[in-house]
Structure 1
Amino acid sequence: MENAGEQDAGPPRVRVLGPFEVCAHEGALVLGGTRIRTLLALLTVNAGRVTGVGALVEALWGGDAPPDARRTVRTYVSRARRGLVPLADALGTGELITTHPAGYTLLVPPGLVDAARFERQVTAGREALAASRYAEAREILADALALWRGDAYGEFTAVASLRSEAARLESLRLTATEDRVEAELATGASATLVEELTGLTEREPGRDRLWGQLMIALYRANRQADALDVFSRARTQLVERFGLDPSARLAEIHRQVLDGDPRLLGQRPAQSVVTRLPAPARNDLPGDIPDFAGREPELTRLLSAREKAPDVTVVTAIDGMAGVGKTTLAVHAAHRLAGHYRDAQLFVDLHGHTPGQEPTSPAAALDALLRALDVPADRIPADQHARAALWRAELATRSVLVVLDNAADAAQVRPLLPGSPRSLALVTSRRRLVDLEAADVISLDVLPEADAVVLFTGVVGQARGDAEAASVLDVVRHCGRLPLAIRLAAARLRTRQAWTVRYLARRLQHARWPLAELSAGDRGVAAAFALSYEQLDDARQRMFRLLGVHPGPDFDAPAAAALAALDLADAEQLLESLVDDHLLQQHAPGRYRFHDLLRRHAHTTGLDEEPEPDRRAALRRVVDFHLHTAYHGSRLLDDQHPPINLDPPGCEPWPLEDAEEAMGWFDANHRCVLAARAAAEEQGWDTAVWQLAWTLDNFHYRRGDLHANIACWRAGLAAAERLGDRAAQARAHRRLGLVYAPLGRFSEALDHLGESLRLAEEIGDLLGQAGVHYVLALAWHEQDDHVRALARAFSSHDLYRTLGNTKWETRALSLIGTCYSHLGHHGEARRYCRTALALSLRRKDVYGEADSLESLGRIANDLGEYEKALEHYERALELWRALDNTYRQAGVLSALGDTHRQLADSARARAAWRAAEELYRARELHVAADRVGRSRTG
């Protein structure tokens, strides 16, 4: 890296108040071409904050950005980093440009940039001026102004953002000049200022403060006539160029000159003449909420924001769904913070989500904010960028809190943000302002239950709430713990003395249209939701109302894609956009859900706006999605499970890769598949009803979720009967028999198995017959009738062998060995189980291997070979865990507990039994859990 010569040597610094320069000890650095200099200038404007890649592309190329602009930006950043190495070395730091997911940040010490030093000195000078330390103020402000070497960012006039920053700094420079002149007048200066003020009034004829200062300087120089002539010229300029009359302040100076007011000659001019009279801090904040409840973590963040970053402009964005209490929190926090911002507390409704009203333009909002700071109308420029610069300049030496409420998006807010760390902006929006730079983001969720109760009782009265505490809980739950819903429900109760809280809870629970209950006057939850929906584009509206058709409690992007007949990328983009709009929640990576009240609104909107054939087609697609994905997943879990024939899907199922992924998908989507089965039943799609029961069977068995399996197969049996499908009926009866036996409902199990066998024989289904015999063997085994169990196991084995179904033949061999073991024929038992194990190993049948090892463990235990039993059980447990089969894990853990007890290892026995009991209890298999529990406590 070369330098520009020793003539500019000095301390490290970045200079923007004139020709743009970056200097290390050896002098000004050679930074590179125009675009690299522009990039560095942009990073300097935002020093310490992230500059987005999009903003850099826009600044460097405008509307003519090449396709590879973002990659080129990375190249420029790399070159800029190399160019700044001497500065980093001089500062003793690492790289000065850091990468952020959204862009880049220039990290330089405070005060290294001359513009930052200028602003701090101006602030100090104005504070000294306000404290009547005029000589000190004059020196500080003069030093600040001496930092200027020309036009700020002068070579970058083609870049809008840099042009705006230059205008802001120039406005601050002019204000600082006025303050310096005021300090000089206060120390007795006069004639020496006339020439400077004459030039300033010619360049800035709209600034009445300069005209007034010139009149005072002339009057003190014994040039009363010239002072009066200045007033005449000022009035002409103001009227002809700006259509304004002279201000009251300027008119007062004119009167004092005419009267020869001696106060104009004093070393300390009357405040009514030169200095601004201290006025009470303007406070536009709406009234605080007397029954504000909760939000303590969020309040703590808001109230401590300045302490965490005292040298950074504090901007906090509060987002959340309609009715979650964003404005309430912002106003409450603003009242708590007001004492720290002495100059003004301002509030602007940006109407981003106001019925029947367009969002406020940034230019209009800036006009209102500047007028709130008493900036004269003639000083407010028409151009939005100039207004934004003036706003930041006005805030540079003030301490102001501004609440920007109800923002539509970041573009509306960005020009309104203060640029000085002395001020604070609180922004509220229904949309996540993810592209708002330098913002601390607080996303509000619904209230915790305890805070929701406090809010409700705060509205209806503590006594009334305490009298029906249980019903209060019901009400806030029916309101989804949404603050707006809670307030409206409480308001209705408060105005209806005949109602009880319990009555209100029942109305909310049983109302056909619950959202209609949550309204009062012109406020309502449904109206708030409707407004959020209306501001979506057509694609997001369609996705929102179709998701109201989705039967499950949550969904992922593939399911949403099937529902809306979109490709996956488009569906995911719409879902993420709805999350940003707070119309959806993402409670886990890749999974989405509605707030309960929003789900009802989406459902109602779908009924109102989506044609019934389209709704039905969407529902069919999502049912098909779950059916075909679950079917493929079930085959991955056990490809020997007798297959079924499915109709071609009306959508694209999710391509599961292996059994592990299938179990993960089932775990995440289990309730969705159950809901799809219920929806199919409601629609009369009977084939899908029993097929969905089939798809869930393997998963239910692995998880030991026998009660859910019963519910599915009972619905499946009814559907098969309506269809007259005897093969499906036989399957349903067989699976119900399998599930009822371990639940202790033996007679029901035998009834179903008998009917399954009859139907299988009628239709000549040998595989079904083999399955019935196998399940009957398990059922008799559960009843300790091992003779009958053995006979059925042999029948099953023979049929499977005839059919060439080697995996199920292996399992039948293992079951035969188990039955022999219980009958005391341990040699035969071990022979059959070892044969089963060998076949399983040869065929890489992990399930059969685990099953055989479990049986061998039981045999070894019965023979008193406890160490060998432990070896078999532990290996079987390892395999069942690998298969993620919690039901069989529980059985092995129970057996391990029995074996540890035989070895007098009571601690391990209790631990194994406890683990088995917990697995059984988790699936509500209380008969098995009680049996294990008796072993543990016996």
Structure 2
Amino acid sequence: MDDPGHRPEFRVLGPFEVRVHDRPLELGGPRIRTLLALLVAHGGRVTAVSALADALWGMDAPPDTHRTVRTYMSRVRRSLAPVATALGAPDLLVTHATGYALRLSPDVLDSREFERLVADARETAADPVTASAKLSRALALWRGDAYEDFAGIPALLAETRRLHGLRLGAIEDRVDADLASGAGEALIGELTALSEQHPGHERLWGQLMTALYRAGRQADALDAFTRARAVLVEEFGLDPSPRLTEIHRRVLDNDPRLLPAGSGPAHPVAERATATAVRNDLPGDIADFAGREAELARLLAVRAGVARTAPTAVVIEAIDGMAGIGKTTLAIHAAHRLAGDYPDARLFLDLHGHTSGQPPVTPAAALDTLLRALGVPAEKIPHDADARAALWRAELAGRSALVVLDNAADAAQVRPLLPGSPGTLLLITSRRRLLDLEPARVLSLDVLPEADAIALFTGIVADDRLADDPDGVREVVELCGHLPLAIRIAAARLRSRPVWTVRHLAGRLRQATRPLAELSAGDRSVAAAFALSYRQLDPARQRMFRLLGLNPGPDVDVPAAAALAGTTAAEAERLLESLVDDHLLQQPVTGRFRFHDLVRQHARTTALAEEPEPARRAALRRLVGFHLHTGHRGSRLLDRQHPPIDVGEPPAGCVPAPLADDAAAMSWFDVNHECVLAARQAAEDAGWDTSVWQLAWTLDNFHYRRGYLQANITSWLAGLAAAERLRDVAVRARAHRRLGLVYGPFGKPAEALHHLNRSLVLTGEIGDTLGQAGVHFVLALHWINEKDDERALGHATSALELYRALGDPKWEARAFSMIGACQSRLGRHREARAQAEAGLALCREREDVYGEADALDSLATIARESGHHGDALGRSREALALWRHLDNTYRQAGTLAAIGDAHRALDECDRARDAWHQAIELYRAHNLHPAADEIEKRSADLGLVRPAEDP
């Protein structure tokens, strides 16, 4: 524009208005203004029509809301026409398939200008006068509360709170700059009002205490601390932080460091004391410290280590872990325990590697602070960073010093601060693993064990409510993920609310729509701690973090993560490993990655807020496709006899995992079973019905081998519902048949028969001969289980005839074995043996290992029924070897039960007991308790119950 002084302005830092040529623009009625405010708040991102409608009407939306919203948006476009003309833009309002976005340059929005000025001021923090001027200019843009006209609009609440938080942070930064410039008494009135308005902000209390002390009002400064502590305890359930406690101690000690630079000490006694006292910057110790015995023991063992290594080495301990894990707490606690061994200095410096609203301290600035702490006059500190580092090493030479560097951003920030001579212990804390800090020993913290988590919680609450409900306490710390910060906040909330019970707190955490919102007290928040870690990632890692929050499974491997992000496996592995180093992701075993439960919640919330809906949907499509296509290949490897289904091509960006053979397939399913189940549920939730039934088919062979009957029932019920929605009769018939196969062994014969009869009818309707043969085969199994061998024989014979008509010898062979088993139970042993041996020969000829094992089981049954128990035992052992080769634990259990029967018939009771016990364990492992109970009853009737401890 030719005249930037008259550019259009969108003002949200007060009453909402749009100005053109320095005059307010007439925008229209309240709903038009609300729609425009929402678009402005969303900062160029697309706002869905449904979100706009919800903001206008909530639950009282009129019919055809989408059309009504479009009408209003046309009025918004007309209202903004003068702005577009002034900016030389054809249109500011952009229409998308799902909603609308407002295309604005940042320089026309006062909130963006405010944020820019604040960021610029923080870059000049080393010059407090300049920083204060810039911050004052930024704060002058505020004319009231942000979006003042829209206090009742929930959709604007998050942006309003964000802007108010930034405003308060800028005020605090400006006060710090004023204090650094020498101000004191002039700030008291402003800080008194601010501390009353924001009683949970300890930084304001500390600034007020400093200003009062500088004004010569030491007693008032101490009284301010008393009021701050009372408010923090009573209203927020928090003790004063170590930083505020340290200011209090300095006021008590008349510490000259509270005075402006260059001022004399507050009291002559303080000057003499300062000249002789040991420098001790450590914050106060943690009164309710709990757990960490092993970690603390390692740090305290430094005493012995120093005695051995002092002649040659500096001792450096780098403590890392996720946000809220208790790194600083442990470092301070250990430092106090070790302080007596370091008589020359005990220094503490927050490097602000992860501090909201503050950039990390530069190495040069950190060295300046540390050198001053050692008594080096300001005029003797070099300007050059390397020269400062050399002076720091020289000043430490010959001293016995303990230095705590808290909240390091990375190794590059810390490396210039490393001492060069023995006698110094350096404790460093960081959210990132400082693996490239070569001299350091790394101590990575995990969440607390249950006993320590409970001890921390009970130590903070410290009242009788806990003794009445130990299970509730256990549930609370579990819901907090055993994370110390979360436990501290939950305990503080309970302590500050005497009418709450432990069970009530657990219920709030368990039932909250956004559980992380419950883990917030005052200015302490688990979500805020995670958000800081997230914001310091580069865009690629941020995107991977967000997308992992959409993963419905319990964990993820590299190929699945690559599919989720639509990237290569190499890039996915790089990003995953980097997130592990940032302690935003865990790696419980090599190659698999998972979130801490609370971090998972934060990742999902972040994805919903920042990842566009089409991108979220595409990512989930790729992940579901990955599990479908990998699982489909695996299922085909497990049983090549079944005809495959057509699953099409994988989605773009999805590369299925390679599986070499059936062993690799079983291994993949074993590790990824819960993930595939979660993918099926996600497909069901998304309405992808074809994927739902295809995933049920994909899991079927694995479920049968492992005896996961309940999981198979759940999958096929979902598959049947999906097929009904698709009106696909063939898939409905298949789903009914598989449900009929599973319900029988699960102890529900009526349900099994219902599904099999439905499948028989449906296959007849569509002329599916192969499907009909399969139903008859399963019906034969059903009637065998129901002890009706005549019916079983009839269905087995029908299956054989249909398989012969189709020219399907592999299933013809399995039908032979089935017929043999039925005839044997009917007393036709010779005919039965001939049928089963014919089936066995055909299976061996066609290398059908599954069918061969099945035939051997049938021959064992025939031998047992005809009284040839030695032959039965031999056949069962052959079958067991094949079931183990196939890794089919479900069929192993049945064969082991038969082996036990054979041993019992041969009066080999100990061997019978062992075989039955193995069968029972396998059945119990797969929740097949009716089958296990039957074997236990059999053994109990014969006095062969296995003792609890078998020698």
Asked whether the two chains share a fold, i.e. TM above 0.5, the reply is yes
The residue correspondences of 1:534-545 to structure 2 (distance < 5 A) are 534-545=535-546
Q: Deviations over 1:804-852 (max 9, x none)?
A: 3232222222111211222222222222222222222222221122112
Look up the SS of the partner of 2:459 in the other structure.
helix
What residue in structure 2 maps to residue 608 of structure 1?
609
What residue in structure 1 maps to residue 622 of structure 2?
621
What residue in structure 1 maps to residue 884 of structure 2?
881
Find 2:748's aligned residue among 745, 748, 751: 745
Q: Which amino acid aligns with 1:295?
A: R
Q: Deviations over 1:673-724 (max 9, x none)?
A: 1111111111111111111111000000000000000011111111111111
Q: Deviations over 1:571-619 (max 9, x none)?
A: 1111111111111111111111111111111111111111111111111
Look up the SS of the partner of 2:465 in the other structure.
helix
CA contact (8 A) 1:395 1:420 kept: yes
Is residue 280 from structure 1 mapped to residue 277 from structure 2 by the alignment? Answer: yes
How many Å separate the matches in 2 of 1:628 and 1:721? Answer: 23
How many Å separate the matches in 2 of 1:385 and 1:428? Answer: 23
Once the two structures are TM-superposed, the CA of residue 504 in structure 1 deviates from its matched residue by 1.0
Q: Deviations over 1:326-346 (max 9, x none)?
A: 111111111111112221111
What residue in structure 2 maps to residue 547 of structure 1?
548
Once the two structures are TM-superposed, the CA of residue 857 in structure 1 deviates from its matched residue by 2.1
How many Å separate the matches in 1 of 2:620 and 2:426? Answer: 45
How many Å separate the matches in 2 of 1:842 and 1:396? Answer: 84
CA contact (8 A) 2:315 2:426 kept: yes
Is residue 289 from structure 1 mapped to residue 286 from structure 2 by the alignment? Answer: yes
How many Å separate the matches in 1 of 2:715 and 2:455? Answer: 42
Q: Deviations over 1:279-327 (max 9, x none)?
A: 4332111111111111111111111145357214221111111111111
How many Å separate the matches in 2 of 1:450 and 1:716? Answer: 43
Look up the SS of the partner of 1:442 in the other structure.
strand
Find 2:688's aligned residue among 658, 662, 685: 685
The residue correspondences of 1:560-579 to structure 2 (distance < 5 A) are 560-579=561-580
Structure with greater Cα Rg: 1
Is residue 507 from structure 1 mapped to residue 543 from structure 2 by the alignment? Answer: no
What residue in structure 2 maps to residue 443 of structure 1?
444
How many Å separate the matches in 2 of 1:655 and 1:880? Answer: 25
What residue in structure 2 maps to residue 300 of structure 1?
297
Look up the SS of the partner of 2:405 in the other structure.
strand
What residue in structure 2 maps to residue 933 of structure 1?
936
Q: Given the superposition, is the C-alpha separation of residues 903 and 419 from structure 1 closer, same or farther in structure 2, using an over 3 Å criterion?
A: farther
Once the two structures are TM-superposed, the CA of residue 865 in structure 1 deviates from its matched residue by 3.0
Q: Given the superposition, is the C-alpha separation of residues 764 and 417 from structure 1 closer, same or farther in structure 2, using an over 3 Å criterion?
A: same
Look up the SS of the partner of 1:316 in the other structure.
strand
Q: Which amino acid aligns with 1:402?
A: V
Look up the SS of the partner of 1:551 in the other structure.
coil
Q: Which amino acid aligns with 2:317?
A: T
Q: Given the superposition, is the C-alpha separation of residues 859 and 352 from structure 1 closer, same or farther in structure 2, using an over 3 Å criterion?
A: same
What residue in structure 2 maps to residue 333 of structure 1?
334
CA contact (8 A) 2:303 2:341 kept: no
How many Å separate the matches in 2 of 1:327 and 1:413? Answer: 16
Once the two structures are TM-superposed, the CA of residue 458 in structure 1 deviates from its matched residue by 1.0
What residue in structure 1 maps to residue 469 of structure 2?
468
How many Å separate the matches in 1 of 2:442 and 2:392? Answer: 23
Q: Which amino acid aligns with 2:806?
A: L
CA contact (8 A) 1:690 1:717 kept: yes
What residue in structure 1 maps to residue 385 of structure 2?
384
What residue in structure 2 maps to residue 348 of structure 1?
349
What residue in structure 2 maps to residue 595 of structure 1?
596
What residue in structure 2 maps to residue 199 of structure 1?
none
Q: Given the superposition, is the C-alpha separation of residues 462 and 910 from structure 1 closer, same or farther in structure 2, using an over 3 Å criterion?
A: farther
Q: Which amino acid aligns with 1:282?
A: R
TM-score, structure 1 normalization: 0.69
What is the CA RMSD across the aligned residues, in angstroms?
Answer: 2.0
Is residue 797 from structure 1 mapped to residue 800 from structure 2 by the alignment? Answer: yes
How many Å separate the matches in 1 of 2:810 and 2:840? Answer: 11
CA contact (8 A) 1:626 1:673 kept: yes
Find 2:763's aligned residue among 760, 764, 778: 760
What residue in structure 1 maps to residue 788 of structure 2?
785
How many Å separate the matches in 2 of 1:427 and 1:798? Answer: 78
Look up the SS of the partner of 1:743 in the other structure.
coil
Greater CA drift, 566-575 or 432-441: 432-441
Once the two structures are TM-superposed, the CA of residue 393 in structure 1 deviates from its matched residue by 2.9
Is residue 844 from structure 1 mapped to residue 847 from structure 2 by the alignment? Answer: yes
How many Å separate the matches in 2 of 1:414 and 1:912? Answer: 64
Find 2:809's aligned residue among 801, 806, 810: 806
Once the two structures are TM-superposed, the CA of residue 904 in structure 1 deviates from its matched residue by 2.0
Once the two structures are TM-superposed, the CA of residue 864 in structure 1 deviates from its matched residue by 3.4
Look up the SS of the partner of 1:811 in the other structure.
helix
CA contact (8 A) 2:472 2:503 kept: yes
What residue in structure 1 maps to residue 701 of structure 2?
698
How many Å separate the matches in 2 of 1:397 and 1:376? Answer: 19
Q: Which amino acid aligns with 1:807?
A: K
Q: Deviations over 1:26-47 (max 9, x none)?
A: xxxxxxxxxxxxxxxxxxxxxx
Look up the SS of the partner of 1:587 in the other structure.
strand
Number of residue pairs the alignment of both structures matches:
668
CA contact (8 A) 1:914 1:936 kept: no
What residue in structure 1 maps to residue 151 of structure 2?
none
CA contact (8 A) 1:767 1:799 kept: yes
CA contact (8 A) 1:313 1:420 kept: yes
What residue in structure 2 maps to residue 110 of structure 1?
none
How many Å separate the matches in 2 of 1:884 and 1:305? Answer: 51
How many Å separate the matches in 1 of 2:298 and 2:857? Answer: 56
Look up the SS of the partner of 1:821 in the other structure.
helix
Q: Report percent identity of matched pairs.
A: 66
Once the two structures are TM-superposed, the CA of residue 464 in structure 1 deviates from its matched residue by 2.3
Q: Which amino acid aligns with 1:549?
A: L
Find 1:916's aligned residue among 899, 908, 919: 919
Look up the SS of the partner of 1:355 in the other structure.
coil
How many Å separate the matches in 1 of 2:797 and 2:859? Answer: 18
How many Å separate the matches in 1 of 2:497 and 2:274? Answer: 53
Once the two structures are TM-superposed, the CA of residue 550 in structure 1 deviates from its matched residue by 1.2
Find 1:716's aligned residue among 712, 715, 719: 719
Find 2:823's aligned residue among 814, 820, 823: 820
Gaps of 5+ in 1: 1-243, 249-275
The residue correspondences of 1:254-273 to structure 2 (distance < 5 A) are none
What residue in structure 2 maps to residue 416 of structure 1?
417
Once the two structures are TM-superposed, the CA of residue 641 in structure 1 deviates from its matched residue by 2.0
Once the two structures are TM-superposed, the CA of residue 380 in structure 1 deviates from its matched residue by 3.0
CA contact (8 A) 2:432 2:581 kept: yes
Q: Given the superposition, is the C-alpha separation of residues 872 and 376 from structure 1 closer, same or farther in structure 2, using an over 3 Å criterion?
A: same
Q: Deviations over 1:780-815 (max 9, x none)?
A: 000111111111111112222222323222222211
Q: Deviations over 1:372-399 (max 9, x none)?
A: 2223434433332232233223333121
How many Å separate the matches in 1 of 2:742 and 2:846? Answer: 28
Gaps of 5+ in 2: 1-260, 266-272, 942-951
Greater CA drift, 571-580 or 371-380: 371-380
Q: Which amino acid aligns with 1:564?
A: A
Q: Given the superposition, is the C-alpha separation of residues 365 and 860 from structure 1 closer, same or farther in structure 2, using an over 3 Å criterion?
A: same
How many Å separate the matches in 2 of 1:868 and 1:550? Answer: 52
Look up the SS of the partner of 1:572 in the other structure.
helix
CA contact (8 A) 1:813 1:832 kept: yes
Look up the SS of the partner of 2:838 in the other structure.
helix
